[in-house]
């Protein structure tokens, strides 16, 4: 695996998702969410390109251009789109960032890494197979697991469902933070990107109740227990 301290500029961001109105806004489309947010902020428009099996746009950054790709092959064939674009523009795997949903990360959290396994994600599995290497960057945006939030629901239904409003709001905070990383991605400053993402690697801990107030409440409760019931 290449050293993360010697990162190359990112030249392609592939946001994974499923095409079609029925999948818009679903958890499995987190990659589409981010790319649509980039397009909205930068005034870009995606156009369909058959030779790349997806919709593409070109983001101009001060440090260099980044291609944006939304595969329209459905999730389990995402590698066809990524490989076609990488081959055409001679983009190395370590110059690719794949944005995808992650079951094992809570909503409102995200992580970034170079290489690694697929954790059962069919999109990543196909990209790894088509590129013949796992050594591309992944931005993993948490959607949570149904065993934590909705045990009676199957994983398939969970990922293809729309998140609850509070989860959607938390995910949107990750999207907003990721938008601030574009210039660093274009420069190859992945350490800078990691510093931004690191703030979202875990949920913030609940604020502890001030000790004085807690002691006061505890004392009041104890006095209430000791007060005779007929008083």
80-83 long-range contacts, CB within 8 A, separation 24+:
80/53, 80/126, 80/130, 81/14, 81/52, 81/53, 81/54, 82/12, 82/14, 82/127, 82/130, 82/131, 83/127, 83/130, 83/131
Q: pTM of the prediction?
A: 0.86
Measured CA to CA, the distance from residue 68 to residue 219 in angstroms comes to 60
| DSSP 8-class letter at 100 | E
Higher pLDDT among residues 224 and 43, named by residue = 43
Range 7-205 has CATH code 3.40.50.1470: yes
Measured CA to CA, the distance from residue 41 to residue 38 in angstroms comes to 5
- What is the band of 217 on the pLDDT scale with cuts at 50, 70, 90? low
Contacts of 200 (CB under 8 A, 6+ apart): 108, 109, 110, 173, 174, 177
Specify the pLDDT at position 98.
Answer: 98
| For residues 154-158, average pLDDT | 96
Asked about 100 being catalytic, the answer comes back as no
Measured CA to CA, the distance from residue 17 to residue 121 in angstroms comes to 12
Measured CA to CA, the distance from residue 186 to residue 64 in angstroms comes to 6
- pLDDT > 70: percent of the chain: 86
Provide the β-strand partners of residue 138.
98, 113
Measured CA to CA, the distance from residue 148 to residue 203 in angstroms comes to 15
Specify the pLDDT at position 204.
Answer: 77
Q: Which of 28, 100, 121, 167 is catalytic?
A: 28
The answer on pLDDT for 91 being more than 60 is yes
User: Can you give the length of the chain in residues?
Assistant: 231
Specify the pLDDT at position 119.
Answer: 85
């Amino acid at each position: 695996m290449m050293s993360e301290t010697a990162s190359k500029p990112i030249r392609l961001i592939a946001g994974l998702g499923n095409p079609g109105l029925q999948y818009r806004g679903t958890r499995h489309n987190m990659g589409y969410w981010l790319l649509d947010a980039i397009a909205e902020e930068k005034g870009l428009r995606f156009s369909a390109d058959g030779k790349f099996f997806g919709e593409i746009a070109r983001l101009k950054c001060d440090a260099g251009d980044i291609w944006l790709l939304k595969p329209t092959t459905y999730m389990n064939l995402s590698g066809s789109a990524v490989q076609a674009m990488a081959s055409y523009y001679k983009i190395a795997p370590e110059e690719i960032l794949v944005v995808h949903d992650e079951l094992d990360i809570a909503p409102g959290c995200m992580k970034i890494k170079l290489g690694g396994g697929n954790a059962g994600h069919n999109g990543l599995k196909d990209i790894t197979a088509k590129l013949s290497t796992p050594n591309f960057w992944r931005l993993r945006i948490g959607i949570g697991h149904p065993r934590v939030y909705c045990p009676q629901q199957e994983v398939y239904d969970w990922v293809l469902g729309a998140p609850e409003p509070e989860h959607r709001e938390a995910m949107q905070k990750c999207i907003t933070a990721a938008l601030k990383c574009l210039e660093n991605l274009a420069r190859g400053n992945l350490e800078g990107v990691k510093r931004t993402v690191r703030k979202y690697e875990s949920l913030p801990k609940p604020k502890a109740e001030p000790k004085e107030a807690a002691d006061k409440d505890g004392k009041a409760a104890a006095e209430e227990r000791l007060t005779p019931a007929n008083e």
